[in-house]
Structure 1
Amino acid sequence: MSSSLNQDIDQCIPAAIEWEYDQQLHHIAEPDPRGHNITLDIRFCAETSCTLFKLYFPIYLKGFANLSQICILIDPPSLESLTYTFNPTIPDAVRKKLNCKTVRLGFRPKPERNLVIIAPTSANEPLTPTRAQSGKVLDAIRMLSGVTSCGVYVEASKVPLSALQVVSEAVNRGHLKPLSYDLNSMFGGTGGKTIQFSAHQNDAPPPSYNEDESQSALSNPKKRLRQNSQASSTDFLASILAELKELRIAHSLIQSENARLKERLEAVESDVEQLQGDNHHASMKLESADGRLLELDENLEGLTQRVEAIEEYNQDSDDKTNLMKIFFLENVDIVVDPEYRSLICAFHGYAVRVHNLEGHLRDRHPDLGHQARGDLVRHHKGLLPTLLEEGPKERIKEEGEKER
């Protein structure tokens, strides 16, 4: 086989069956109940070249209170050929069930090899249907057990055609091996057993379930009417029980889905609460950061004012120093005269007091406005030139007059 075509198949899909019996073409697409499906279970393993085909028929059998099933097993070693046809012309009976593009699988068993019929282990033999439609299904299974060929229609989109080509070629070459199966695990673990129909049943098709009822009713009308009434009641009760079982299953599935959705909703609500908490925490942090920024702006403004005050103070200190330098340069002759040294010392002491006054006002009276502090300092500084101008110059003038 080409590795590019190797594909595994594991599908259980609705099917309709066609076969020829006694030179007549027969079809079955509806099991019992009609709302269910006949299904084809296809298993193919490309790695091991093993495959298995199983047809399941829902049916009501005597001895079962609920719906049961019968299986037709198609084993690869029992096949002479397998063909497939994409989108064939389908009969009306099949179209009613599969109104879509289909693939027809053509099975031809080897001579003297019949299809294997498997029923539940607890089924009574011979198999006896309890409803008219189940009788038709059982008649079809009985005929299929002895046919030389049959066709199975399935929806084309459900099965990859490339894989069908691989399976068909392998069957025709005799390369496929049977896929192992366990009878004890079939039918939901209840187990299955093979069923053999008698020779006269295989030689001719049995009368339909409806025909059996009409012939018996004619032979003994009163007795049959009572039996029909009982059978109808039994069928009605069985139908109700089957529907109740299906409703219970559907209700259980709905409850499971509701529980799952409830858990998911709770998880979503928890996530929403967590996100809301995270959002609130982030908002609080943002507000705190805004407050901190405002505080930093205020501190920066205060620092700016302090820097300006320091710069102005430094400028005032420079002016004072320059003033002292000018005095000494202009009055150097006074400085060297011992008589004026005491005056210079007094001037120096006055300058120191002015400097201390500035520090005192700045440290002890921070609430005093910057302008007010500057005015006081400038007032005291203004006295210094007066002292310099009046004091030494008067003394110099007096000395000059004495010399004359």
Structure 2
Amino acid sequence: MSETPSFDFGFKAPACIEWTLNNATQYLIDPDPQRDSVKLDACFSGQSSAASFQLHCPIRVKGIESHSYITGLIHIRSITSLNFDENPEIPDIVRRKLNCKAVCLHFDLCQPLDLIASTAATEPIQPRKRLSGQVIDALRSLAEATAFNIYISAREISLPRLNAICEAVSQNLLQPIITDTSTILASLYGRRGGKIITLSSQAYTSTSRNENPPSYDQLETLPLKAEISPLSTNESLSSVAASNKCNEKKRRRLDDSSTSSEADDHHSIWITLTNMRKEMHKLTKRVERLERENKDLNKELDELRASCEKVTDAADADGAALLEVHEDLNELRVQVDFLAQGRLDSDAEEHIIETVKESVLTHILERGYNTKIIIEKA
């Protein structure tokens, strides 16, 4: 086995999972016990582009007295698209659980995740409480989804690190840290080991191929027969076993008769849909970026308009001031020409007379002369 790479980061954070199945949005929010949280366990090495994503859902199952958890293993090579939204529209049920600013990771897979339980759990997996039954219903539905969203706290991871992971996925560079599934299973549950499980409703199986099995809530409300004899019970179990064997043979024949061309067609359709989804997501991001740029440009345009208005007002004021200065210069030029011709205007003459009068009177008063002075205007 290759040497374990040095990780750029690793975290185990409370998470809320959202997916759509049969045109209905479903969530995995509260585990059992509810005071605990579903957690996303992730790590990434930028040097080797190796990563690991696991979901841990606390639950109470038969065979384990203490609390345990079911692991949702996301196969790295099954990830066809991974994107994130740093400002998502958070559903109320998610906001109440996380109670913080969150980022949303969008996973698209070419195969669903695997559910893993501790080797100590009895099979088929049975809940010890009704709440655990509801969690099993949610996990069973999640195991059928190939696209889901994971909300985590924005404090748990930086955007550059998320960008590095998404870039590695887009370039098909992302690799699993451990390639051997048996080694991964052996490393789980404190190295006590885990096993891949299939969650079912046991005796309450669906008769229709497209019909989902009933939930544990529905099982509790099913009416019980008043009288069931041991003989009839044994006969019904035998008939169920025979029916299961018959169905197995039919499924084998159908699987054997399926052609490789049909599988190739389905694979090509899936690849096409995946590529279309990637392109749609890129276009959505581009439109959002262009809208933000347009908003910024409109803001800059408004600021430029306001600045132009201020400059125009200042120019008008400067023009008026220049006009006044021009008028003052013209008036001054007229006065200079008048003085250059040796003449005085009436204002200048009156000013000189008043100045002489004041000077003479001041001199008389200071010297005490009793003299009558008559100043005639020339």
Structure 1 length as normaliser, TM-score?
0.50
- Distance in 2 (CA, whole Å) between partners of 1:48 and 1:67 is 36
- Distance in 1 (CA, whole Å) between partners of 2:43 and 2:128 is 32
Closer/same/farther in 2, CA of residues 158 and 222 from structure 1, 3 Å limit: farther
Classify the secondary structure of the residue corresponding to 1:96.
Answer: helix
Which of 173, 192, 195 is the aligned partner of 2:194?
Answer: 192
Give the match for residue 24 of structure 2. Answer: 24
Give the match for residue 56 of structure 1. Answer: 56
Q: How big is the shift at 1:185? A: 2.2
Contact 1:139 1:206 in 2 (8 A): no
Contact 2:31 2:59 in 1 (8 A): yes
Answering whether residue 96 of structure 2 is matched by residue 91 of structure 1, we say no
- Distance in 2 (CA, whole Å) between partners of 1:145 and 1:91 is 22
Residue pairs, 1:5-404, within 5 angstroms: 8-110=8-110, 113-180=111-178, 182-197=184-199, 203-215=210-222, 218-220=223-225
Give RMSD over aligned pairs: 2.4
- Distance in 2 (CA, whole Å) between partners of 1:211 and 1:124 is 22
- Distance in 2 (CA, whole Å) between partners of 1:213 and 1:17 is 26
Contact 1:32 1:59 in 2 (8 A): yes
Contact 1:79 1:109 in 2 (8 A): yes
- Distance in 2 (CA, whole Å) between partners of 1:134 and 1:202 is 26
Closer/same/farther in 2, CA of residues 31 and 13 from structure 1, 3 Å limit: same
Q: How big is the shift at 1:222? A: 11
Closer/same/farther in 2, CA of residues 162 and 42 from structure 1, 3 Å limit: same
Q: Give unpaired runs (5+ residues) of structure 2.
A: 1-5, 201-205, 229-378
Give the match for residue 226 of structure 1. Answer: none
Q: How big is the shift at 1:202? A: 9.1
Closer/same/farther in 2, CA of residues 200 and 10 from structure 1, 3 Å limit: farther
> Kindly, what percent of the aligned residue pairs are identical?
37
| Deviations, residues 147-196 of structure 1 (Å, cap 9, x unaligned) | 12000000011111101011011112211111116311211222101123
Closer/same/farther in 2, CA of residues 83 and 204 from structure 1, 3 Å limit: farther
Classify the secondary structure of the residue corresponding to 1:117.
Answer: strand
Contact 1:120 1:191 in 2 (8 A): yes
- AA aligned opposite 2:24: Q
Closer/same/farther in 2, CA of residues 8 and 136 from structure 1, 3 Å limit: same
Contact 2:140 2:199 in 1 (8 A): yes
Classify the secondary structure of the residue corresponding to 1:32.
Answer: coil
Classify the secondary structure of the residue corresponding to 1:219.
Answer: coil
- Distance in 1 (CA, whole Å) between partners of 2:122 and 2:209 is 19
- Distance in 1 (CA, whole Å) between partners of 2:123 and 2:158 is 39
- AA aligned opposite 1:219: L
Q: How big is the shift at 1:210? A: 2.1
- AA aligned opposite 2:11: Q
More helix, by proportion: 1
Contact 2:9 2:45 in 1 (8 A): yes
Contact 2:7 2:43 in 1 (8 A): no
- Distance in 1 (CA, whole Å) between partners of 2:29 and 2:227 is 35
Contact 1:18 1:25 in 2 (8 A): yes
Give the match for residue 279 of structure 1. Answer: none
Classify the secondary structure of the residue corresponding to 1:146.
Answer: coil
| Deviations, residues 280-330 of structure 1 (Å, cap 9, x unaligned) | xxxxxxxxxxxxxxxxxxxxxxxxxxxxxxxxxxxxxxxxxxxxxxxxxxx
Closer/same/farther in 2, CA of residues 201 and 140 from structure 1, 3 Å limit: farther
Q: How big is the shift at 1:15? A: 0.2
Closer/same/farther in 2, CA of residues 130 and 203 from structure 1, 3 Å limit: farther
| Deviations, residues 61-111 of structure 1 (Å, cap 9, x unaligned) | 11111111100011220111001001211111111101211011111101x
Contact 2:125 2:199 in 1 (8 A): no
Classify the secondary structure of the residue corresponding to 1:175.
Answer: coil
Structure 2 length as normaliser, TM-score?
0.53
Q: How big is the shift at 1:207? A: 2.3
- AA aligned opposite 1:104: C
Q: Give unpaired runs (5+ residues) of structure 1.
A: 1-5, 224-404
